[in-house]
Every structure is written in structure tokens, then in C-alpha cells.
Amino acid sequence: MNIALIGYGKMGKAIEAVAVARGHKVVLIVDVNNVHECVPARLQKADVAIEFTTPDTAVGNLKACFDAQVPVVCGTTGWLDQLDAVQQHCANKGGGLFYTSNYSIGVQIFFDINKRLAELVNRYRSDYRATLEEVHHTTKKDAPSGTAISRTNIQFSIRNISYQINSFLIL
């Protein structure tokens, strides 16, 4: 599979290492030094784009991928206030997008455990107050993290037992 990596920080480099080790080819790397290369002509060399950048650049990157008709896997958090516009652009271009706030298997298990915990604790909600504390490495750029923000919804859902899905797929 040919991959365009959009964002070449720690996550982008880790994705590249795993992709290459599994026999895939990285055909485009876009980072802060060459954002001008995130254009349809370059993106179309990829079968998929993997986007891990910043909230300020993610929406433009996603739209560029949709314009190039390249499906996107996105892990950037902090841009969901623009979700309606992104979904509309994706639909208009016949694009594809898979997003979640955290791709860690451990965190996904944590999400499922939290859902079950919310169901169990709901009957005791007047007796307990749910809180969330997160700890990260010292170089974490976004604080609170997108994962913690998405978990805030669980914190409130313990009170009214609603659950927000943290990932979505647009085809």
C-alpha cells in the first residue's frame, strides 16, 4: 500500500517505521517544512493518507485529501468544532475518513470499560462524583489531550447514562 504521511512528528515517524516494516511504501511525507506539497497531484500517489498534525492544520489537510480523492485516517484532535464542514466537504468529494481521538488499543479498551462503568455507576450517581486525571510524557503538545476531552463526555454520561462515540467513519 502506498501511504501519504501528513505530520511527521513522533507519531508520523512511528507510523512510518511500522508501515515500512510491514511492506508498505511511504510515497509522501508532509510536515511543517513542506506543507506546500499537500496538494492533489502529490497526494494522488497514495492509496491512503494518515493525518496526525495539529488542530490548526488538520481541516485543511483533510480537505486536500478529499480533493485528491484519497481516503484519510486521522488522529488529530481539537478540530471537531469544524466537523460539519469537514463531513460536508467529504461527502461532496466522495471521500473517505476514519477518525478517533486515540488509536491505542489500551485506550480503546479503556473507552469500553468506561462505558460499562457509566452503566454500573449510574444508579449510584447521587453518591459519587466522577473525575478524570491524565498524566503524559513531558513533551505532550496538547493538554488536556483529545483523549481526555473525549472522556469528559463519559464523566458527564455517568449522570445521565448517555455515551458519545469517539470515532467515526465517513464513506
User: Which are the catalytic amino acids?
Assistant: 136, 140
Task: Please count the other Cβ atoms lying within 10 Å of the Cβ belonging to residue 128.
Answer: 9
Cβ-based neighbour number of residue 104 at 10 Å: 12
Dihedral sign for Cα 62, 67, 70, 71, please. positive
Give the CA-trace dihedral at 45, 29, 61, 33, to 10 degrees. -140
For 130, counting Cβ atoms within 10 Å of its Cβ (0-12 exposed, 13-18 middle, 19+ buried), the class is middle
Q: How many CA atoms lie within 13 A of 120 on its CB side?
A: 6
**Helix, strand, coil abundance in the chain, percent, nearest 5:** 45, 15, 35
